[in-house]
Structure 1
Amino acid sequence: MATTFLSFSRLPFDIRSQIWALAAYPRLIHVRTTPKPGRFEGHRFAGSDRYFASMIPQAELMHVCQESRQLAPYQKAFFTTLPGDSETRYIWVNFNEDMICLEHHNLYALDPHAADIQRLRFTVPTGREFEDWAETFTRFTSSRFTQFTVLREVHLAISHDMHFWGATAGSYGVCPIDNVRFLDIQTGLMLTKAQIELAEEWESQKGWLVQNMDDIDEELWSFSGYPFIELCLEVE
């Protein structure tokens, strides 16, 4: 089977440009942020006060040919000049499809491209830091996302207390609540807020147990007056 299409260059330009556009796929762009000397991550500073880095390799389209590089939907972002370096470093990003991932929860670190980011994932803290952070985050959720003016999808990476998020309220800026997902880092399980609420109701009513999978419809019918059944319908 042939692995190359030698007549590609003879295709009309409009078709070639569409092929290059369709060849770009969504990626997880893990961005590391480091405050410059004299700064620390907890505060809100301009992008020039941080260093940015990512281990993700450049997208394949950037290495195919000159035309693919010119037409690929990527732009230079997260510019960084390290001490002693004469050249500015950057990350190639397709903000329409790529999800920007932070290994921490300080969203202010992304201020330089807050108006560009459409898909965002950040990591929820643990331990005592979670207790302090969660109270203010859940009370002022919307204000944490005001700078993200085109945000359409949010993932929260969570390592414990997944059930906590079923009881939270508030909006995520302009991002629709149906596009907010809660990712269990340990299991890879990803749920919506409605699904977490459903799981909580099932735990309280049934202790996570299904007595007989063959009779699951009867079990649900027997609890038809409970709120979690209504949530079942919403999730379906």
Structure 2
Amino acid sequence: FSTFHPFPRLPCELRLQIWEHAVEPRTIEVRYRAYKPERLLCTNPVPAIMEACREARDVGLKLYEKAFLDSIPGRPDLGERYIWLNWDFDVISIGRTRLEKFLPVKTLIQRLKLERNRNDGFWDDSADYTLGREDENPELRSFINVREIYIVMDSFDMMYGLRSTVETWPCGADNVVFIDGASGE
């Protein structure tokens, strides 16, 4: 790994473009902690652009915003907690966390990843396993700005074609990707 020493001598406009192109989409793992105090947790690191240098951070501040703002009640000494997020291209991965925990930001999420299987109540229990009409599904349909959905499923559900019968998605069926939880494919 080497350093490009002439970088500071490049024209400012070119350096700023390089910083912008250095930003890559991330998968942001957000989970709900049910015990007191209830909160959303994330262990993703701060985007590198926010820590590289002042010039890079200035670019990063235009691309990212603080999301999932949180503070611990009774502990002001710990300060405010948040995630740096770019709603346009970061994937919000919620695992098995219920969609209802994300309703306050449902119109901001554009890329959503969740882990569900046949026994979660996410799918209708009818023989064709279409997207269910109860439980979480009205909530999923309310994520009206979602452009991509990634669903991690167990191998059994993948093998029996649960994924192939989905009809209605807020982003359209062509933008739904099913991932086998065992293989990651």
TM > 0.5 fold call = yes
The one-letter amino acid of 1:21's match is E
For the residues of structure 2 that align with 1:33 and 1:12, how far apart are their CA atoms?
45
The gaps in structure 1 that reach 5 residues or longer are 38-48, 190-236
Counterpart secondary structure, 1:89: strand
Q: How far is 1:36 from its partner?
A: 6.3
Q: Hey, what does 2:122 align to over in structure 1? A: 133
Matched, 1:155 2:156: no
State whether residues 29 and 92 of structure 2, in contact with CA within 8 Å, keep that contact through their aligned partners in structure 1: yes
Give me the whole-angstrom Cα distance separating, in 2, the residues matched to 1:11 and 1:22: 15
What amino acid sits opposite 1:93 in the alignment?
Answer: L
Q: Report what 1:176 is aligned to.
A: 172
Partner of 2:41: 53
* Cα shift readout 1:94-149 (whole Å, capped 9, x = no counterpart): 222211101215212112322221111011046xx43x432288133873334323
Contact 1:105 1:125 in 2 (8 A): no
Letter in 1 for 2:86: N
Aligned twin of 2:68: 78
Structure 2: gaps (5+ residues): none
Say if 1:139 and 1:32 are closer, same or farther in 2 by CA, change over 3 A: closer
The answer to whether the 8 Å contact 1:51/1:81 transfers is no
Query: CA deviation digits over 1:6-60, x for unaligned, max 9?
Result: 33223222222211111011111110112464xxxxxxxxxxx951211111111
Greater relative contact order structure (CA < 8 Å, 6+ sep): 2
Give the aligned length: 172
| Matching of residue 89 in structure 1 with residue 81 in structure 2 | yes
Q: Structure 1 residues 60-69 or 102-111, which shifts more?
A: 102-111
Structure of greater Rg? 1
Q: 2-side partners of 1:113 and 1:20: how far apart? A: 28
Distance 1:142 1:83 in 2: 32
The structure-2 alpha-carbon separation of the partners of 1:146 and 1:13, relative to structure 1 and needing over 3 Å to count, comes to: farther
1:185 aligns with 2:181: yes
Partner SS state of residue 117, structure 1: coil
Between Structure 1 and Structure 2, which shows a larger proportion of strand residues? 2
Contact 1:78 1:112 in 2 (8 A): no
Q: Which amino acid in the other structure matches residue 151 of structure 1?
A: V
RMSD of aligned Cα (Å):
2.4
Identity %: 30
Q: Is the 8 A contact 2:69 2:81 kept in 1?
A: yes
Q: Which has the higher helix share?
A: 1
